[in-house]
Amino acid sequence: MISLDLDADVVSLTAALVDIPSESRQEAAIADAVEAALRAYAHLDVVRDGHTVVARTSLGRDSRVVIAGHLDTVPANDNFPSRLDGDQLWGLGSCDMKGGVAVALRAAAQLPEPVRDVTYVFYEAEEIEASANGLGRLARERPELLAGDFAILMEPSNSVIEAGCQGVVRVDVIARGERAHVARSWMGSNAIHLLEPVLQRLVAAVRRTPVIDGLTYHEGLNAVAVSGGVASNVVPDEARVSLSYRFAPDRTEAEALEYLQELFSGFEVVVTDSSPAAAPGLDRPAAAAFVKAMGVEVNPKFGWTDVAQFTTIGVPAVNFGPGDPLLAHKQDERVPVDQLRLTEQRLFRWLRGEEGGRDE
């Protein structure tokens, strides 16, 4: 079994995590290593659920915070293993989000008596379809393990706070025609040609920029794939455009789907995946207190994160972790060493109740 040293500095621990292959659905080795490392600490109660590991303090504090990070990565792209070059740690998952996982693991090990009880969650399958997500499984099947007054998702945010997140609805818009021989195409109806108005409506659609809790969210609606065709001598009878709609947190999943159905009326719209948005929730006392304590910039989250999982069970949550989210999933993925240390410093101070988490 791979061994993790939670007494090592956060940079070395991040590198060690990056060096454990853990593409989605292949998290067994890293989950085993995380579980074994956490079980060495008597102040933690550790639970394993699939390839998701939960570690909890039980100190009888007045409040509980949940600190979570996913263990999986997207597929490698000639960016494995890790490489430390000056002030940057390079490698698959270094930014998204093994740097944040390293900070959380260090906190779990090094802070036996935080001022609030803490639940640490290290989970599987965040980078693939929502139905496989380990945190979502806990929210559905074992919500008591995620109970808390506030949650911090260690997603990359440049060591500042990113509030809320966009929701995601993925659909196929389908055109149906009639097959015919291409030499006698007038005897059929070309489904690929029938997609033209779909693309026209897509390009012309206005992308909203609603302001929520003082934060401006930018919606995204994009075609991500086009498919159709039978053979080189056959007029196709079916074609589809796959769309990804990243909607702002002032819309529900149902409202987002209704918008797409209206936009593409006259065509068949089939949902292939869906996840809710999460409102910033900065008016919630626990979230507002964390923002005040950190004393850092607060930005809207562009993209979907598992803060939405917490929102669905009534736990306010924010994104706060090392790394530039713009580098997530890129071949040149990397995380600044100073952000690893700064995020750890700020989180440790907050958990200890020292200076409210602010820098001196």
More confident residue, 280 or 102: 102
Average pLDDT estimate for 281-294: 86
Inter-residue contact 165 to 307 (CB < 8 Å):
yes
> Cβ neighbours of residue 110 under 8 Å, at least 6 residues apart?
6, 7, 348
- Report the pLDDT value the prediction gives residue 356, as an integer from 0 to 100: 46
User: What type of residue is 130?
Assistant: A
DSSP one-letter code for 174? E
**Can you read off the two tokens belonging to residue 346?**
């700020």
State pLDDT tens for residues 162-209. Answer: 999 999 999 999 999 999 999 999 999 999 999 999 999 999 999 999
CB contact set of 115 (below 8 Å; sequence gap of 6+) = 61, 351, 352, 353
Give the chain's length.
360
pLDDT for 322-344, tens place per residue? 999 999 999 999 999 999 999 99
Looking at this protein, which amino acid is placed at residue 1? M
- Residue 2's H or E segment, with its range, is none
Tell me the average pLDDT across 212-235: 95
**Domains (range + CATH), the chain:** 10-165+278-357 (3.40.630.10), 167-275 (3.30.70.360)
Predicted confidence at residue 235, as pLDDT, reads 97
Cα–Cα distance measured from residue 56 to residue 119, given in angstroms and rounded to the nearest whole number? 4
CB 352 within 8 A of CB 172: no
Provide the annotated active-site residues.
72, 126
